[in-house]
Amino acid sequence: MVTDPRLRAVSIAKEFHAARLAAAEAKEKRDKKGQELAGQAIRKLKQEMSSLGLSEDILAAASKPDYPSHQKSEAIWEDSMIGKDAKSIAVCDGESALDFPVAKDKSGNTEERSSSLHVQDVHSSLELPVQETDSLEKENLEEVELGALFSEDVSTADPLPPEVLKLQRKEKLGLPKTSGKKTDMQRKGDSGKIPKAVLQQQCQKLGWGAPKYNKLSGSENEFRYSVSVLRTATGRGKNRKAGGLITFEFPNQDEAFESAEDAQNGVATFALYRLFADLPLYQLISEPYSSFVMKWHEGEGFIEFDESEDLRRASFVKSLLVNEGSSSNISGDVPDISLLEMHLPKLEQKTDDNVFITARTGRMDSSKEAESKLLKQELENKLQQKKYLKMLEARNTLPMAEFEDDLLQLLHEHDAVVVSGETGCGKTTQVPQFILDDMIKTGVGGFCNIVCTQPRRIAAISVAERVAEERCEPPPGSNGSLVGYQVRLDSARNEKTRLLFCTTGILLRKLAGDRYLTDISHVIVDEVHERSLLNDFLLIVLRDLIERQSSCRTSKLKVVLMSATVDASLFSKYFGGCPIVTAQGRTHPVSTCFLEDIYENLEYRLASDSPSSLMAISTIKDKLGRNPIANRRGKKNLVLGAWGDDDLLTENYINPHYDGGLYAAYTERTHQNLKNLNEDVIDYDLLEDLIYFINRNYSPGSILVFLPGLGDIHNLLDKLAASYQLGGLSGDWLLPLHSSLSASDQRKVFQSPPENIRKVIVATDIAETSITIDDVVYVIDTGKHKENRYNPQKKMSSIVEDWISRANAKQRHGRAGRVKPGNCFCLYTQHRYEKLMRPYQVPEMLRVPLVELCLQIKSLSFGDVKSFLLKAMDPPREEAVSSAIATLYEVGALEGYEELTSLGHHLSRLPVDVQIGKMMLYGGIFGCLSPILSIAAFLSYKLPFLYPKDEKQNAERAKSSLLTDKSDSGGDVAINDKQSDHLLLVIAYSKWVKMLREKGTRAAQNFCRSYFLSSSVMYTIRDMRIQLGTLLADIGFINLPKVDGKSKDKLDSWFDDINLPFNMYSKHSAIILSMLCAGLYPNVAATKEGSNWAPQSSSQTHSATSAMQEPPRWFDGRREVYVHPSSINSSVKQFCYPFLVYLEKVETSKVFLRDTSVISPYSILLFGGPINVHHQTGLVTIDGWLRLTAPAQTAVLFKELRLALRSILNELIQKPEKKVAVTENEVVRSIIRLLLEEDKFK
């Protein structure tokens, strides 16, 4: 029998009221049994109330007799208050936050009935505190409510039954219809009924930011608005819920408003409905807005969203998060509400498979079905083409082809699969095509969206081009091609792209907008064995997604991990023991020749004065000992640091790894070479001789040489180009290969040289796994690579040249023998390979800074940083994580308990170092954006200065002349500060781009040649300036102009326009340097004059003559530091101020500061750390160690000025729509005047 919901509502109201009274009476009598029985009854009734979509307020209304329609609403509210005190209302079933009206008690006194109720909304994750009541009622609440803590609760987010909606609507029937116009009540200003006022009151009560309304584009006579609300975090400890900025738009696209006020009230109604869904809005707000709420409850207003593919997908993911079967590893923090989630139909509790399939794969609409049929037909047509059949035949010869069916079957049965394959098996190019073709053949190609990540840009581009060629399709991104790629500053994709190759960073940026990857069917992570920081982070995210969807029986995200054979089981174990598909490489036999064999074959003799000889160090030590001038402090280490490890300065100059018993069959010359060898230094003489030896004695085939760094590559190429054997035409095929090459230069390594010309490729470890060059037959492996390392205690990075692992060596070995039997020549001994090399490379997460990673974790609402990173394959050390979090607090990206600030939200959207990102934001606020964009681009990419081997002095002179040469500046570059590497970069770019715009490409190239600048770097910087500026526009700091398709030059010119507010002070070096301080602080060093701290050795007295000759010594608060020789400040004897900022510290033979700029005391006072004023001595200290001399009144004034500035900047960052007009704020203008005045007296 079906019960009438209306009758049941009345019955529940009576039973519920009686149960609450029974609980109160039992409490007074201390009847524990009675309390328990009453609590059980209340819980049961609450569950039934929720299933009917009823709150206590609705029950109170349902239990009363009918009133005349025009009095009904007020009568219900007043009657519900009679006979109840405020305390009983305060425990109203944890429903909504509401300011109740004032009512009169029986004695005639007025009493304010205001209470804030505890709410946990499914969508918004709000947690509103319960106000204090008296102790008796509070204990009642705790005992009754906590009993239901572990019971299953029916979500109140489900749509209400139609019968109940009719019951609720009954109250509205007597109200006059307004047809979308304001009522008389609104015109009279009844703020209690206007949605904007109600929303304002609710936000104010919760301590949230005031709602902000933004006009949206529309027709001339129609108005549309969005509203943004900045929520604060709530709760403590494990119950803490993150806040965040939420933006809403009115969901009914066809609903137009005739005035701005009406449109704002409309969107305010929708915000109330989503944020405070359990409020009786139909009673709180006036028509026509209350009718909107009723329609939304019935689902009438969500037709557009039900039809949306993306929203269905997001709904599916949200359903995973509320499923009981999800993993316990799910983060405790609840993500912020996005606009997408605001528009979701409430499908969380539905379990029908068809609903989930539609949500995950997108609705089966006619366009998708038509596209699927078209793709299937096109593939069938291809199978009739000879060209495609020939290519397919070639693909089928790859070892990976025989595992196609097995792989596809495993993907159908499992969420994750590891593909392990040796070099040449075809896993990188074939696996994505297997999946794509399978979906097309089965008629769901239109729903296919495969993303394949590559560790490097060159790999993503080259693999995409290769796959498009194999599919007999146009180049990636073209019409008719299903293949595309996307890397930084370059993209080739369109709406038809079904297979996208991209760098790992691109996919991680996508997570910022879609943290559940709802529109992606497959993620393929290639080269996972490299253990890069971004790859390991991505694996955590993917594993969490798979665990969360593990209880669903329908279409899910599929993950394929592709690895070298050496450690495939490690990744399988990490993903819950997922299956492994192993394919053998299709390579010809490769013979290996270790160092001892190379010595024998070449009859090579290691010269005693070679940098690779330990005898050379002995000779140097003797010379340094006899020469007192050369033995000055630092001189000895500088010489030795250029040749080898300082630890080799011992009395015994025999290779410590030499064991004569291992080389009994070798000649005495080889024994002597190995005994005197310094294994940590590459022997370039041997390397050069070996290349000539291969060129003379071996059959045709390209040579691939692995070297650790860019400088090593240029050093070897210069040697080879100068030789008669590989000079002339052969010199055109001496090719570098590294990540900084332009795309066109990178492509040349894949081309075939003319007959009788041998191609020699000199590469970094980029050629180890990321790319495959088919015609390589000979590999020379020096066994070295460059590795970034970070010391969290010292907060110092170092770039170390170190030995590769055996896994890396095996990968390099596999590069030979692609087309015929090959040879691998190892410039290290077999003993080192087998006994001294570590098995695998140290994961990047264990040796690099984690600042940006921690910021992204907070931005994506993944919860506590340390807890999240504990889920990594190899979790980083706790001190490294703590150091990164501390940096985020210093920058101002975090506050409280790891809460992301408004500044942090913006920084997370900028793909640069957090300090550089902060500098960009401040540059826009203080009117010097253009030069800051140039600095940010250079520091994020690379410096443009070139140092040819034989022209280093000329290059240094040219670099210095950039600061003084006024030619071709035309007054365009007024910056002339000579003590800043950063301003030098600004000048170099400004002069280059002016030459490019006014005189063309050839003149710009000649300019670069004259000043020893890299032309390709300058073009990249131009593109990066546009990218970074556009990102600032995306977060609302600037408005981009409308330009045509060919807009690079126009857009870059626009960023340079000094007439725009954000460039008003772009020609004032004092302002630019202050922004550097604001961004880079606490990366500050000071001379003894500007600091309280110095090592004991610094107390030594120096003569006046010595002081004039020696540059000042710098300290960072812990130790003495040195300006890097590449800086223009390295040779300066007298500085205008005793402070400088730097980008990073690097430790080699000393602790060096890279990229330095001298900054003023005012900059430190305004943008530095905490200020401590010593009134009696007239000294001011910043951060406890930086020292300034200033009157106490001045210091206190700066403290107050800093507080005012901080408040203004926070407001500007929270509300970027103000477009940071500096001239409109008196405090900012005063600071700018102070900085400009100070600059006049330096």
User: Which residues, in sequence order, are CB contacts of 275 under 8 Å at separation 6+?
Assistant: 121, 124, 126, 202, 229, 246
Do 221 and 264 belong to one domain?
yes
The residues near 291 (Cβ < 8 Å, ≥ 6 apart) are: 172
Pairing of strands 244-249, 558-563: unpaired
Question: Are 53 and 10 in the same domain?
Answer: yes
CA-to-CA distance for 761 and 764, rounded, in angstroms? 10
Inside any domain, residue 242 = yes
Domains identified in the chain, total number: 7
* pLDDT mean for each 10 residues of the chain (1242 residues): 54 77 79 78 71 51 41 38 37 34 40 35 35 38 31 36 47 40 39 78 81 75 81 61 74 72 88 80 78 70 40 40 35 30 31 38 63 93 94 92 94 94 87 96 93 91 94 94 90 93 92 83 93 94 87 71 83 94 82 95 90 68 41 34 39 78 92 92 94 93 92 86 76 85 76 90 85 88 89 73 91 84 95 92 91 92 93 94 93 90 88 91 90 94 81 85 66 61 94 93 93 90 90 81 59 86 90 94 89 51 47 88 90 89 85 92 91 85 88 83 81 65 73 86 66
- HEC string of 448-497 equals CCEEEEECCHHHHHHHHHHHHHHCCCCCCCCCCCCEEEEECCEEECCCCC
Q: Is 231 exposed, middle or buried (0-12, 13-18, 19+ CB in 10 A)?
A: buried
Q: How many CB atoms lie within 10 A of CB 116?
A: 16
Can you tell me the distance from the alpha carbon of 89 to that of 876, in angstroms, rounded to the nearest whole number? 50
Please count the other Cβ atoms lying within 10 Å of the Cβ belonging to residue 674: 24
Question: Which residue segment(s) compose the domain that 863 sits in?
Answer: 849-886
C-alpha 655/C-alpha 23 separation (Å) is 86
Same domain, 130 and 222: no
Q: Is 1043 part of a structural domain of the chain?
A: yes
Whether 464 and 546 share a structural domain: yes
| CATH number of the domain enclosing 524 | 3.40.50.300
Q: How many CB atoms lie within 10 A of CB 168?
A: 21
Q: How far apart are the first and last CA of the chain?
A: 92
663 within a domain of the structure (yes/no): no
- Residue-wise DSSP of 116-157: E---B-TTT--BPPPPP--HHHHHHHHHHHHTTTTS----TT
Whether residue 223 is found in the same domain as residue 103: no
Dihedrals φ, ψ of 358, to 5°? -60, -40
Same domain (yes/no): 214, 143: no
In a domain, 964, yes or no: yes
Residue 36, H or E segment? helix 32-51
Contact 426, 570 (CB under 8 A): no
Beta bridge partners of 761: 704, 735
Is 313 contained in some domain?
A: no
Are 1084 and 1139 in contact by the 8 Å Cβ rule? The answer is: yes
Examine residue 496 and state whether it is found in any structural domain, yes or no.
yes
The CATH number covering residue 228 comes to: 3.30.160.20
pTM of the model: 0.64
Statement to judge: residues 1048 and 918 lie in one domain: yes
124-140: burial string, b at 16+ Cβ within 10 Å, e else? bbbbbebeebeeebeeb
Pairing mode, if any, of strands 1084-1087 and 1139-1147?
Answer: antiparallel
Are residues 791 and 748 in contact, defined by beta-carbon separation less than 8 angstroms?
Answer: no
Count Cβ atoms within 10 A of the Cβ of residue 1075 and give its class: 0-12 exposed, 13-18 middle, 19 or more buried.
Answer: buried
Q: How many residues does the chain have?
A: 1242
- Judge if 1121 and 983 occupy the same domain: no
- The residue among 130, 164, 198 that closes a domain is 164
Domain shared by 596 and 534, yes or no: no
The last residue of a domain, from among 1044, 1064, 1084: 1064
Q: Is residue 640 part of a domain?
A: no
Which residues have C-beta within 8 Å of that of residue 681, sequence separation ≥ 6?
611, 612, 643, 644
Predicted local distance difference test score (pLDDT) of residue 41:
80
Which tokens go with 724? Answer: 């008669």
Per the domain annotation, does 650 fall within a domain? no
Residue appearing with tokens 């040449």: 424
How far CA 794 is from CA of 790, 1118, 1119, 1147, in Å, comes to 9, 9, 10, 10
Q: Rounded CA gap, 59 and 582, in Å?
A: 64
Residue 52 pLDDT: 56
Tell whether 552 and 403 lie within a shared domain. yes
Per-residue tokens: 48: 């039934």
- Are residues 186 and 136 both part of a single domain? no
Instruction: Please tell me whether residues 829 and 872 are part of one structural domain.
Output: no
Among residues 290, 306, 322, the one where a domain terminates is 306
